[in-house]
Structure 1
């Protein structure tokens, strides 16, 4: 490796006071040329120095930030962007830009994140605001802080083809997409979030590259492992140390240079490792080491519900902090919509399912799962409740409705509010999807902008995927909109002026309770849950010092518990129950709340209430 400057990362363009040092991994080639694209003159060509192990490097004296460059490999004539480009100002197919990573951070006192007590907000920068930029999103951070959000989970930012997309088809993993602003704009967004007490984690996609403008394979074929196949084609070759280093460096880069507070790893079942330590185990170690003294969180999306991710390294696990829990969502949707189809087939939306999520995490921990015609999951009974991220909406599930409609549409409003209370006041880690907090009327569709031929293939693939839902298939799938139509992307942009004040107040009040109630705010709570009736259940938190709390949830019509042989309904000795919150408050569009247990327990239909154990005042005791 050249010693002109001390490098921070093994690949990419790094700036010093004396110039710029370039380094690439191009193991399939005998030579490489750096092309500097000058604005006012012809490009210049610079032969790179071949190193051991398939690397090429070159130091260019006096070169500054803001210089455009590409590479030419072997005897080929095509010009290629840097696989570790820090910015692609003209998109994935254009030249790379040398970037000075310096930024005036003001978050030196920010300690980072740990899972207990977090409230997550999933965000897509391109549709979160009308501007669709980091700067536009920054303007709304104060609003999220006022709501009580503690973590923003940003959908992938790596540069991708076209003018819009979800980001999961990225090809420049080190370059935050030019569509949303500059690298400094992204840092400014994160810095402001930290100032307001909000952490930011990044959704990363390491199991495949996008299908268009993906030139990394031209540097070396070693990036792919042809012996394994994913939903998107050949798998990434994580058994190759140089390839693993590329992705591990990327994780370091986001945490060190952008001060991200953690990562959300997409589709973890599609990481294949046939030898040595699994890549995901390496990833969590490298990410935490990169954060130094700052605490970060690593979240996984694992459809197979594999407990290896949550186990610590000492138990041969991968050391993740939390996983998305689809089971909670699926049970809730069945209860709200009444349809058990496609991947909702194995759920009923019963009280048992909801209290099992609260107590045990995943519902499927190895049992037979008829939709997949095999067992699903692995034992997860004893992981801490905060390691399960629960949600009523996320980007996938809203879009997978076919119509792109939010969950509060075409469902029982009372049940929706009651399940929102369980989501936020339950022991698991709640996550909201952008706009959910104010009942956004904006849809969220699947959108992606590719070449004409690929756009048609993506559209056909989308229709094939959604054909698993009978009501969509019976409509001839005609309601499914083209992902490539710009109008559908623009339709998803949030409008904060349309806020449903009832739902906004509901979410804000519940979050305030979770964060400020002396019992609910504790990161370690003793709790129990129990079924009360066909559609009702309770969740009770025990606290001798502050008084117990009990959440009553009734997802059906009014119920009278007579008899009521359930000891969890009884208040602590010398206490009585007092309602301190109800989803039936007129503030949330309800009819008001009558006492629940005078003399018998009478559960209001389609509602939830939070009760506090209180001791009768001395004045009242004297009257008796």
Structure 2
């Protein structure tokens, strides 16, 4: 696979040569190519004019013509007019015309930016629409940077049906969602982030297309495989090289043309064959990226495939650690939380000491899950208390601020912020946001009804929602009010300001004492102190021992510690006297540092 990276013409522009779509060439012409193996005739349509495209033996239809950038076009495939599946721009939505894009038209300002080492990542996950679009997010970047974030992670931005969606129902994966703003606005937002020292990660979905607007089955049914089933229907057939090229080019487009600093692969466990994940990671790493550029690759993967984290992937979202922390904070045991309800203290200790809880044993469904992970460094795991899934996939979309004891929640946030794992927070978490985050869509007619019924039926076995009348309390995903209620808002300016200062202080401590010493760090084990209480230890790269003791119970527990270990952070602060007596009080977290010989804490 040939790959173009930062343009040789000018260091201020960037582009990627894609196999499919409308590719502006150096001689001023534009090459159009679409894979339509089941089509007898494919025409390029521009201003009602039809141009017959030439078919090759693979089923690719290609035509090179002179057109201006911003020219609108469609394909007429056997008398069916469709947008380009590799369209770079869809200003009129997924059913409208595609637009020719010259990526060299945007002049980048942050040309000295080469990214950040992974160990420096402190991630804020955001939904671009709920943040107000690309331009509004750009204006919010200084505030996010001031909180101590070093990276923002965008939920998917691929074009979808309507104006409201989480983004995981995209159908045109190359085209940024028009309701969020223009391509220029997206690049300007990334540019501004880099000028502030912020990395930008993008969620990408390579396991399915959304239920509305996907035209591929009509002219390229070979794109899908009937013998690979997913929760969303027939699986994408990655055994075909054309399909593989389509998605590999998409990944490289975001990295090279838009200068995203990393990708997070959604539900990677639903991609078959799994060997493709290794191929994709290797393809991204071997591209001719500018020397010294840092690119992050992150997985969401129910299979807990530790082997992928030993090669080209930086880390995986640690759902195991989240799930057990959620059980400890809320007492909930329904759905997948049931897997972590029997021995939550022991499971948390295992997650902090070894990464995954499930490393090959059967889950509640009797399915073996996971691979041994204890040899991996702590930075191979992204730790979080909540994200879009864990909030939005609740019947009423509540955040932990509405579910957990405030003292316990603060103590758990200390663990996330100051653990040697990579921390991730959901938008608004930095100020203690209480706004719900619902599941929302914008589908028409019958599909809207199916989504509404499916959403409510999903929770029919959950306590409090077994009665159909009770399930009517679950917000309608298609209602505009459901989306409006999900936009983060500040309910109490004074409380939010105090929380933000406290949060920023945590991340300042992480930057000052922890980040630079995460290279070559390793876990030393984790002891269960009592019900809902653990004491974890790590060795940092400079030889110091980093310890976090967490007590989420209502009872004090004994904590024996090295007398030379210094208290770096304790929450709440008035728990320090008891700590001196060997007691870790209820609802408390403490961070301890034991210096190695020749190493001293900064003043």
Partner of 1:302: 301
How far off its partner does 1:496 sit?
Answer: 5.1
Once residues 175 and 369 of structure 1 are traced to their aligned partners in structure 2, the CA distance between those partners, rounded to angstroms, is 38
2:583 maps to which of 602, 606, 610: 602
8 Å contact 2:378–2:522 — kept in the other structure? no
Matched, 1:66 2:70: yes
Matches within 5 A, 1:511-590: 511-517=507-513, 521-528=517-524, 529-542=526-539, 548-559=545-556, 561=558, 566=560, 569-571=561-563, 575=564, 577-585=565-573
2:19 is matched with 10
State the secondary structure of the residue aligned to 1:140: helix
SS in 2 for 1:70: strand
Q: Larger Cα Rg: Structure 1 or Structure 2?
A: 1
- 1:361 aligns to 2:355 (yes or no): yes
How far apart, in 2, do the equivalents of 1:222 and 1:431 lie? 38
CA 1:156–1:452: 2 relative to 1, 3 Å? same
Please state if 1:286 is matched with 2:283. yes
Report the more deviating stretch, 277-286 or 393-402: 277-286
Which one is further off, 350-359 or 412-421? 350-359
Query: In the alignment, which residue of structure 1 is the partner of 2:332?
Result: 339
Q: Output the CA distance in 2 between the equivalents of 1:467 and 1:266.
A: 26
Contact 1:506 1:583 in 2 (8 A): no
Given the superposition, is the C-alpha separation of residues 79 and 108 from structure 1 closer, same or farther in structure 2, using an over 3 Å criterion? same
1:118 aligns with 2:121: yes
Shift of 1:234: 0.5
Give the Å deviation of 1:113.
Answer: 4.1
Cα deviations across residues 174-221 of structure 1 (Å, max 9, x unaligned)? 100101011111111111111111111111111111111111223321
Matched residues in 2 for 1:544 and 1:36: separation? Answer: 60
CA contact (8 A) 2:134 2:189 kept: yes
Question: Which secondary structure does the structure 2 equivalent of 1:283 belong to?
Answer: helix
CA distance in 1, matches of 2:140, 2:278: 35
Q: Is the 8 A contact 2:438 2:477 kept in 1?
A: yes
What's the CA shift for 1:108?
Answer: 2.6
1:279–1:535 distance in 2 versus 1, CA, 3 Å:
closer
> Structure 2 CA distance, aligned partners of 1:548 and 1:401?
38
Q: Which moved more, 1:283-292 or 1:324-333?
A: 283-292
- TM-score with structure 2 length normalisation? 0.90
Query: Cα offset for 1:81?
Result: 0.5
Q: Cα deviation per residue 1:5-32 (whole Å; 9 max; x = unaligned)?
A: x992221112346343222222222322
> 8 Å contact 1:558–1:603 — kept in the other structure?
no
* Native 8 Å contact 2:329 2:552 kept in 1: no
Q: Which runs of at least 4 in structure 1 moved beyond 4 Å after TM superposition?
A: 496-499, 518-521, 541-549, 612-615
Find out whether 1:504 has 2:500 as its counterpart: yes
- CA separation in 1, counterparts of 2:554 and 2:298? 37
Contact 1:300/1:320, CA 8 A, preserved across alignment: yes
> Compared with structure 1, are the counterparts of its residues 415 and 21 closer, same or farther at alpha carbon in structure 2 (3 Å cutoff)?
same
- 1:523-575 CA-to-partner distances (Å, cap 9, x unmatched) read 333553323333333234557979654333221234253xx6x5xx123xxx3
Unaligned runs of 5+ residues in structure 1 are 1-5, 38-42, 313-318, 586-591, 616-624
Structure 1 residue 393: Cα displacement: 0.6
Equivalent residue in structure 2 for 1:373, among 352, 366, 391: 366
Are 1:514 and 1:521, in contact at CA under 8 Å, matched by a contact in 2? Answer: no
| Superposed displacement of residue 416, structure 1 | 0.7
| Alpha-carbon distance, 1:610 to partner | 2.5
Q: Secondary structure at the match of 2:120?
A: coil
Task: Select which of 82, 92, 97 maps to 1:80.
Answer: 82
* Alignment partner, residue 588 of structure 1: none
Q: Distance in 2 between matches of 1:20 and 1:520?
A: 47
Q: Tell me, in whole angstroms, the C-alpha distance in 2 between the residues paired with 1:398 and 1:594.
A: 33
RMSD: 2.4
- Measured after TM superposition, the shift of residue 283 of structure 1 is 1.1
For the Cα contact (< 8 Å) 1:386–1:429, is it kept in 2? Answer: yes
Cα offset, 1:341, TM superposition:
1.9
Q: Classify the secondary structure of the residue corresponding to 1:9.
A: coil
- The answer to which of 19-28 and 87-96 deviates more is 19-28
Change in CA separation of 1:597 and 1:490 when aligned onto 2, cut-off 3 Å: closer
8 Å Cα contact 2:401-2:433 kept in structure 1: no
Residues 547 and 329 of structure 1: CA distance in aligned 2, closer, same or farther (over 3 Å): closer
Cα distance in 2, alignment partners of residues 31 and 445 from structure 1: 44
Structure 2 partner of 1:443: 436
Distance change >3 Å, CA 158–CA 518, structure 1 → 2: closer
> Using a 3 Å threshold, how does the CA distance of structure 1 residues 438 and 45 change in structure 2: closer, same or farther?
same
Among residues 26, 43, 49, which one is paired with 1:44 in the alignment?
A: 49
Secondary structure of 1:396's counterpart equals helix
TM-score, length-normalised on structure 1? 0.87
Q: Quick one: structure 1 residues 597 and 176, their matched pair in 2 at CA, closer, same or farther if it must change by over 3 Å? A: closer
